[in-house]
Amino acid sequence: MHRNNQVLRTDYEKCTGCRLCELVCAVKHDHVSNPTRSRIRVIKWEAEGIYVPLSCQQCEDAPCATACPAKALTRNADMGRVEVDYNKCIGCRTCVSVCPFGAMHFVAADRKVIKCDLCDGDPQCVRFCDTKAVKLVDAGDVSLQKGREAAKRLRAADKKASSLVA
Amino acid sequence: MALNRKIAYIDLTTGGIEIKPIPLELRNKFIGGRGLDAYLLYNHTKQGVDPLGPDNVLLISGGLLTATCASATTRTHVMAKSALTNMLGSTNMGGFFAPELAWAGFHHLVIRGKADKPVYLFIHNGEIEIRSAKNIWGKSVTETQWAIREELQDPEVKSLVTGPAGENLVRWANVMTGIKNSGGRTGMGCIMGSKNLKAVAVRGTMDVSIAHPVEALEYNKRFIDQITSSKVNQTMGTIGTPFIWGATNSWGGVRTRNFQFNQCEYSDDLEPERIDEIALETVGDNHMAACFACQVHCRGKHRLPSGPYKGRYSEGPEYTSQGAFGAEPDCKHADTVLTCNYLVNEYGMDTLETGSMISWAMELYEKGILTREQTDGIDLCFGNDEALIEMITRICYRKGWLADTLADGGLPAAEKIGKNAFDYMVQVKGMHNLHSDERGTPALALNIATASRGSDHLRSRPAIDLYHLPEPVLRKIYSSPIPYDGPLSSEQTHYEGKPWQVFWHENCYMAVDMLGICKYHTMFLGATHPNFEDWSRVVQLNTGLDFSPTHIWEAAVRANMIERLFNLREGMTRYDLKKGEMLNHRYFDEPLRRGAPGVVGRKIDKQKFIKMVDEFYEHKGLDERGVPKPETLKKLGLENEPSHLL
């Protein structure tokens, strides 16, 4: 399997809000438990029971890379991800401002930005998520699930409509 | 590092705050969480302390493993002397508070005194602030939490709150976090209210370092896979604890009409399938939420399908609510269960005590002990859904003579109502029982009589006793981590071997309560779940501490014993129906009227029950009064308690 062909896909309806992904991400990368060190974040609307996991989309034309004044962010096509070169990074946090997904984070304790690196191809968040709210899929297959769900709704609506005629 | 987490002492009278490290010696002896809280309670209160007075201490804690790379380290523990039982008060809940407290640098809070005006605590990365609660006093459980986030301008703040019920000193007011994570039993919310403490808010972004992070991660995966592979947990993950209803009502294990029947009839609407249907209709396919770091996700989501709160988002219900608002008052509607569940969660009242108290009142009304005048004209009969719902609000706000009387708790209420009201109360130490009917299951009858906080199903219940597991399986479970070669029985109606089972489970649950892990990860409902050997490993990998399985067992035995010492100091007397380890006469006198053939006609044999308690005491090293023998205290290192080391 070519690593560059795989992307993270989140199905937020399946997210139970447990935040185990945040825990294992921080432990894997930084060897500590600390949600502000997680590259993946679960945004919650507790009063409605909605939880949305958000992570880096590894954009082809990444706004963070474009905006970075130190040219510290580049896309690694082989690994299918956008990477930070800490030798060049000046810690200005422009990337944090411009990322449309809020997926760039700044770790206050280390004074460094962090972002998802897909765990070099074996993302731990995917591994630990029981409901598969976050999955690793082939890039070309990202729309299959959505398509199937839309088709399901179409069938249900059709069935309902045809029962009125009959 | 988990071991770097601190203990904070907060005096609400003086505003004084003191922060200290937790000595390793006490970690060795009591590990953390509920175990260490029990030590703190015994050491920081004097005999006869007024539970509603400033000298009662309110203890809030996470466990040793909270926020480490372990599964479901979600639990918060709260302890104090209870104003409901006047004995040990202790309660435990899931959600996200304890991990946040750990990331903020703390494992234990010791709160004493009383604020002269309503306050709340805000804890942030090692610092504690006492803030005015004037903008949140009076608010519901959820409104309080959202308002705190608004005031602090931080959506990530987690709060432990008491609702209006706690403010009004309803003796069984609970402590809550989130929509429904409830520390329900023994009325710890009432203690918060008595201290003018509306909430404890926390935000934490400090590292909790892991001793062996790579191995801990791998072990966690293994541990989680073991948890999620169990059928019980898979079922829980689809509907939550309501699935238990189907299993227990069918053979006759469900208290109905207070205690008159043991099976709810014509109650299809209470079946878990109906609850699931409502969740599907109002929320959709994905209607389960989870607590921190847990893959069981057993918390149901739904919107109220009908009634004055139709459309409101709510969570649950648990099996307990099916009983409290379904079986016990014999109101057989899912919609009622959901409405009542929503109300008690918003008011901040123990779902179990609420339903049981009202059902008790219903039986008194049925028997003519309570009159229509005393109920303010409410027709408080079994099956009257409106009356049930009305009474919940009345109790929260102490509206009317009966509600005000009930709000003071069962024992004072029985005395005030008079006649023989007390005889009808299904309680131990003044706290009501879950809606399970134990007349056919001696092991469970023993567990509720001897649990440290009163009649209780979560401190020593050998629930797997109901599974009729083959004897070799039982032998394997109950001979670890310390050997046992006494009798065991697969049969739930037998008395043999049950004392050891209850003793074993008492230590099993104390162990996870000390670690901060959820009991659904133990042998509570699943016979293949992780055990002492696994916790030993998890502790080692995450903290570096070498606690052998036996060490953890012994710490649990020790912590359970110090809970007993507290109760004895507060006057616990074995055969006292109000302060003892004895069951209401109905268990012995009223045989079961419904259920499966092997269950109908059963009741608890009083002599055999007493013998079970005798044997249970022997396993614990107690004399026939339930008092620890001197050599037992010495063996546990408790002979110098209270030792005031922390």
Residues 6+ apart with CB under 8 A from B122: B128, B129, B131, B152, B157, B201, B202, B203
A125: closest CA among B456, B295, B566, B249?
B295
- The answer to whether residue B223 neighbours chain A at the CB level (below 8 Å) is no
Q: Report the C-alpha gap between B507 and B484 in whole angstroms.
A: 14
Q: Are B572 and B579 in contact (CB under 8 A)?
A: yes
Q: Give A67-76 contacts, CB < 8 A, sequence gap 24+.
A: A67/A94, A67/A95, A67/A97, A67/A98, A68/A94, A68/A95, A69/A94
Q: Helix B334-347 and helix B272-282: axis angle, to 10°?
A: 70
Judged by CB atoms closer than 8 Å, whether chains meet at B313 and A18 is answered as no
Asked whether B541 and B212 are in contact (CB, 8 A), the reply is yes
Give me the amino acid identity at B106: F
Angle at B36 (CA atoms; ends B215, B106), nearest 5 degrees: 65
Whether A40 and A22 have beta carbons less than 8 Å apart is answered as yes
Per residue in B246-288, pLDDT tens?
Answer: 889 999 999 999 999 999 999 999 999 999 999 999 999 999 9
CB contact set of A110 (below 8 Å; sequence gap of 6+): none
Contact between residue B59 and residue B53 where contact means Cβ atoms under 8 Å apart: no
Does domain B238-422 match CATH 1.10.569.10? Answer: yes
Burial pattern B290-319, b for ≥16 Cβ within 10 A else e, equals bbbbbbbbbbbbbbbbebeeeebbbbbbbb
CA distance A145 to A147: 5
Q: Which residues are within 8 A (CB) of B71 and not within 5 positions of it... i.e. 6 or more apart?
A: B220, B223, B224, B227, B293, B294, B295, B517, B521
Residues B107/B62, Cβ–Cβ less than 8 Å: yes
Which chain B residues in 56-85 lie under 8 Å from chain A, judged by CB atoms? Answer: 67-69
Helix (H) or strand (E) holding B36: helix B33-44
- The pair of three-digit structure tokens given for residue B540, joined into one six-digit string: 């080692």
Cis-peptide, bond into residue B317, ω within 30° of zero: yes
* A47 with B313: Cβ contact below 8 A: yes
CB spacing of B179 vs A46 below 8 angstroms: yes
Locate the DSSP E strands across B143-263: 158-161, 175-177, 181-183, 197-203, 208-209
Give the CATH class of B438-636.
mainly alpha
**B515 in helix, strand or coil?**
helix
**What are B437-484's pLDDT values in tens digits?**
999 999 999 999 999 999 999 999 999 999 999 999 999 999 999 999
The residue written with tokens 């459309």 in the block is B311
CB B435 within 8 Å of CB B255: yes
**What is the pLDDT at residue A1?**
47
Phi-psi sector, A61: left (phi>0), alpha (psi -120 to 50), beta: beta
- Would you kindly state where each structural domain of chain B is located, as residue ranges? 2-203, 238-422, 438-636
Nearest 5°: phi and psi at B583? Answer: -100, 150
Taking the CA of residue B315 and the nearest CA in chain A, the distance in Å comes to 9
CATH number corresponding to B2-203:
3.60.9.10
Write out the H or E segment, with its range, that includes residue B335: helix B334-347
Q: How many CB atoms lie within 10 A of CB B246?
A: 14
Q: Which of B255, B161, B242 is nearest to B455 (CA)?
A: B255
Residues B67, A19: C-beta atoms closer than 8 Å: no
Q: Looking at residue A2, what is its pLDDT?
A: 52
Helix (H, G, I), strand (E, B) or coil at B436: strand
H or E, element range at A50 = strand A50-54
Give the position of tokens 């005629």: A165
Mean of all residue pLDDT scores within chain B? 97
* B283 closest CB neighbour out of A20, A47, A49: A49
Dist CA B173 CA B184 (whole Å): 7
**Closest-CA distance of chain B to residue A104, Å:** 17
Catalogue all structural domains in chain A, each as residue range(s) with its CATH number: 3-140 (3.30.70.20)
Measured CA to CA, the distance from residue B290 to residue B311 in angstroms comes to 22
> Using the beta-carbon criterion (under 8 Å), do A20 and B293 form an inter-chain contact?
yes
Q: What are phi and psi of B18, to 5 degrees?
A: -130, 135
Phi, psi of A53 (to 5 degrees): -75, 135
Chain B residue numbers touching A37 (CB-CB < 8 A): 207
B334 vs A: CB within 8 A: no
Measured between CA atoms, how close is B320 to chain A, in angstroms?
Answer: 22
Give per-residue burial for B338-349: e unless 16+ CB within 10 Å, then b: bbbbbbbbbbbb
Q: Beta-carbon neighbour count of residue A164 at 10 Å?
A: 6
Inter-chain residue contact A33 with B142, CB threshold 8 Å: no
Average pLDDT over chain A, rounded to an integer: 94
CATH topology agreement for domains B238-422 and B438-636: no
% chain A with pLDDT above 70: 98
**Distances from the Cα of B142 to the Cα of A37, B74, B190, B304, angstroms:** 28, 19, 17, 16
Beta strand residue intervals within B245-306, DSSP E: 288-289, 299-303
Write the CB contacts of B519 (distance below 8 Å, at least 6 apart in sequence). Answer: B458, B509, B512, B513
Which positions of chain B have pLDDT values less than 70? none
Is B362 within 8 Å of chain A by CB? no
**Phi, psi of B383, deg, nearest 5:** 90, -5
- Is the pLDDT at A3 greater than 70, yes or no? no
Contact (CB<8Å) A49/B179: yes
Give the contacts of B259 (CB within 8 A, at least 6 positions apart): B363, B424, B426, B437, B584, B586, B590
Whether B608 contacts B1, CB under 8 Å: no
How far is it, in rounded angstroms, from Cα A27 to Cα B226? 21
Are residues B114 and B12 in contact, defined by beta-carbon separation less than 8 angstroms? yes
Question: Chain A contacts of B285, Cβ < 8 Å?
Answer: 13
Enumerate the residues of chain B whose CB falls inside 8 A of the CB of residue A49.
179, 283, 289, 301, 313, 315
Q: Which of B146, B213, B297 sits opposite A18 (nearest CB)?
A: B297
**Cα of B542 to nearest chain A Cα, Å:** 10
- For residues A14 and B286, the answer to whether their CB atoms sit within 8 Å is yes
Whether the CB of B346 is below 8 Å from some CB of chain A: the reply is no
Cα–Cα distance, B115 to B199 (Å, whole number): 12
Helix or strand or coil: residue B120?
strand
Cα–Cα nearest to B230, from B323, B299, B298: B298
Beta-strand (E) ranges in B113-174? Answer: 119-124, 127-132, 158-161
The ipTM (two decimal places) reads 0.95
Residue with the two structure tokens 């005798």 = B614
Local structure of B301: helix, strand or coil: strand
Q: Select the residue from B209, B239, B517 to test the A interface by mutation, using most A Cβ atoms within 10 A.
A: B209
Residue-wise pLDDT tens digits, A85-117: 999 999 999 999 999 999 999 999 999 999 999
Q: Which of A28, A35, A130 sits opposite B228 (nearest CB)?
A: A130
CB B158 within 8 A of CB B202: yes
Cα–Cα distance, B300 to B289 (Å, whole number): 6
**What is the C-alpha to C-alpha distance for residues B109 and B100, in angstroms, rounded to an integer?**
13
Sign of torsion, CA B25 B26 B28 B32?
A: negative
